[in-house]
Structure 1
């Protein structure tokens, strides 16, 4: 069984969905420490003025997020950021060929006021995955798995053993810290992803591959998955 373990992210880029469609089981690594400088609560979209960040405000001042797991991070609702994000998306992509096809679904992402960041990002990621045609991958959260032990590589292997994984796919940046020999000792095959994808038309040149999956979806529609598969 092929397994991927990744921290939940906000409207991730297509490489994230490549890992989802590669796996039989995709595990959201939601019980590790929140990273204020990562992709947990932010991502980029293209606009006529260049790429912009969409960031979900969370309780991240001072020590409030120190040693707090992702699945306990709360969203701040001191301003209507959800409407701001949807308005930015609508303004950026209203001329995209498939905007009208998916606009209602994406607008629905921003219709509520979720309390926890992970609940929001995980739910929207799963819905996007199903929408682009990834229908066989199963999803779960690492926080649902009982009896996980160790830290770093040992913890990954413990999770993989608990779910019966035979094959683990990791992002390329993990080469710097994953202890490869431990996977061999555990009898789990380890492979690293290669993020190489074809270009596709975008509204505002130059081409930028490092943007949210929403860009691909609004531009490519039903062919979105084909721009991900290699």
Structure 2
């Protein structure tokens, strides 16, 4: 059984879903603090295509508590600004002429019309929409419900053990911090997922990779799942 583990993300990109598609179980790493690396921080933001290239959609959050950073499943959405209407207007403005916008717009519009207190609940709602649209029937677990005691790379090994993993599918950055010997000792094969982004038709001239997967859905419809999986590459090093 192949397990992948990722922090929850807002309107995730294609590589996020390709890793899920290549796995049997997806563990949402929701009991750790938010990633503050500007290059990999996607818990509350992602990109959409625009006539000018692309633009960020960022959910305002309250990520600090009395004792420092909150865990991802504790982070609250800051609803003092009308970010939901702003995000939906931006999506509608840039995708309303996309060929499959009407097929998926109602689900996303309903998400933006709902009130959200916690970021985790918002991201879970988005994940469900995407997985249904991409016909992904995978088991989804929450790390916050798995009684984990370890930290850092040992946490990943512990989660794999608890999920009964034979193989752990890591993202490419896992090469920088995961200890292969720890996985070998646990009897878990360690593989890395390198995503070679596919090109597809977009609503504006040229092609911009690394957009939210809504870009693929609105432009390619039922073909999205097959386009998503074309470049899959898994390696042990």
- What TM-score does the superposition give when structure 2 sets the normalisation length? 0.92
Tell me, in whole angstroms, the C-alpha distance in 2 between the residues paired with 1:6 and 1:190: 15
- How far residue 151 of structure 1 moved from its aligned partner, in angstroms, is 1.3
Q: Paired residue for 1:5?
A: 5
- How far residue 164 of structure 1 moved from its aligned partner, in angstroms, is 0.8
Give the direction of change, closer, same or farther, for the CA distance of 1:204–1:68 in structure 2 (3 Å limit).
Answer: same
Contact 2:63 2:76 in 1 (8 A): no
Greater displacement, 105-114 / 212-221: 105-114
1:57-91: CA deviation from partner (whole Å, max 9, x where unpaired): 00146x76833110100001112110110010000
Tell me, in whole angstroms, the C-alpha distance in 2 between the residues paired with 1:127 and 1:19: 17
Tell me, in whole angstroms, the C-alpha distance in 2 between the residues paired with 1:144 and 1:228: 30
- Residue 44 of structure 1 aligns to a residue in which SS? strand
Q: Paired residue for 2:141?
A: 140
- Residue 228 of structure 1 aligns to a residue in which SS? helix
Give the direction of change, closer, same or farther, for the CA distance of 1:59–1:65 in structure 2 (3 Å limit).
Answer: farther
- How far residue 119 of structure 1 moved from its aligned partner, in angstroms, is 1.0
Q: Paired residue for 1:181?
A: 181
- Residue 54 of structure 1 aligns to a residue in which SS? strand
- How far residue 106 of structure 1 moved from its aligned partner, in angstroms, is 1.1
The runs of 5 or more residues in structure 1 that have no matched partner are: none
Q: Paired residue for 1:58?
A: 61
Give 1:44's match in structure 2, choosing from 44, 47, 51.
Answer: 47
Q: Paired residue for 2:200?
A: 200
Tell me, in whole angstroms, the C-alpha distance in 2 between the residues paired with 1:48 and 1:15: 23
The runs of 5 or more residues in structure 2 that have no matched partner are: 231-237
What count of residue pairs does the alignment treat as equivalent?
Answer: 227
- What TM-score does the superposition give when structure 1 sets the normalisation length? 0.95
